[in-house]
Amino acid sequence: MTDTAAVEILADVHRGVGRIRLNRPKALNALTTGMVAAIDRALVEWERIPLSAVVLASTSAKAFCAGGDIRTIREHSLAGDAEASERFFASEYRLNARIAEYPVPIVSLIDGLCMGGGLGLSVHGRFRVVTEGAVLAMPETGIGFFPDVGASYFLPRLPGAIGMYLGLTGHRVDAADALYTGLATHFVPGEGLDAVGDALADSPGDPVDVVLNRLAGRSPVARSGLAEVRGDVDWAFGAPSLGEIEKRLRHLDSPWASSALAALESASPQSLEITHALLARGRQRTLRECLSAELALTRTTIRTPDFLEGVRAALVDKDRSPNWQRASLGGRTLPS
């Protein structure tokens, strides 16, 4: 572990509970290769000791994790060192798989932004606690990429066509929507979040679900905006093709449909094509199969003009829309 990674990832064991805290607040805990390696190393080491749970949290209420460090990925691409970016994604996806298969319950405490790689850290664990300040999203189609970190596995398993909607549009969900969709498992008010670790340590013999329910505030799930438009979401985004999705959104002619259509029109056409194909196949695949397919796609996608343009627009020229390549995938096929 490098000195930098040791500072950006704080890991210890406290009274039988493993604690991993993301500590890169100025960058909204955007993940670097060193941070991923540090988290993975801690989890490997803790497999040898008896723990009642592992808590994954942030030292800042502003963000749990805003995703991967796309600034560094862009720098690698511009420098002609795409292999460095590939190493990051490969190590990140290995960590996602480890979290999903970890023998001890992992409890993610999500307060603030949780996007992209942040969902990869949290959603594969058994318990995802959100506060009233939580905001979750997979916004990759807006930067010329596609929902990765196992999203082709977990998005298709959300109710109805919600996963396809979230993956294609990058729509941000709040705590109520996260609970409604199953992206989150529990709600705890922000002021009570710091008590979770101690509560788990105080009750090592109790099921984690029981401990979390003791701390839970009144669930906001009844205020879910997605629940209100669920019928339209399922009809429009359950269509068999991107063209049919667009056609159905235009037919609905509602504020929600107009917003969804605008999100599709602002996204990378290449990314939409990749995402739709991945999510359509994801329900038939295991998590490891999904991660393998995503890694194969990552190796080519990070070299495309759409990805470089999308990241440039996000980091350098935020007031302008990306100038997407309007051609399709150029004959490339997706991994089968």
Active-site annotation holder among 8, 92, 148, 309: 148
Q: Based on the residue annotation, tell me whether 68 is a catalytic residue of this protein.
A: yes
Sheet holding 135-137, edge to edge: 63-65, 113-115, 135-137
Q: Based on the residue annotation, tell me whether 331 is a catalytic residue of this protein.
A: no
Which tokens in the block code for residue 312?
């440039």
Pick left, alpha or beta for residue 72 (phi over 0 → left; psi -120 to 50 → alpha; otherwise beta): alpha
- Site of tokens 């490098």: 2
3-state DSSP percent of the chain in helix, strand and coil, to 5: 55, 10, 35
**Residue 57: strand, helix, or coil:** strand
Which tokens in the block code for residue 55?
């808590």
Amino acid at 230: R
Of 150, 155, 105, residue with least CA distance to 125: 105
Active-site annotation holder among 117, 125, 163, 197: 117
Burial class (CB in 10 A: 0-12, 13-18, 19+), 87: middle
Q: What is the DSSP string of 132-175?
A: TT-EEE--GGGGT----TTHHHHSTTSSTTHHHHHHHH---B-H
C-beta contacts of 239-242 below 8 A and 24+ residues apart: 241/276, 242/168, 242/272, 242/273, 242/276
Q: Based on the residue annotation, tell me whether 117 is a catalytic residue of this protein.
A: yes
* Residue 333 host element (H or E): none
Active-site annotation holder among 92, 140, 174, 232: 140
Q: Based on the residue annotation, tell me whether 192 is a catalytic residue of this protein.
A: no
Q: Give the active site residues.
A: 68, 117, 140, 148
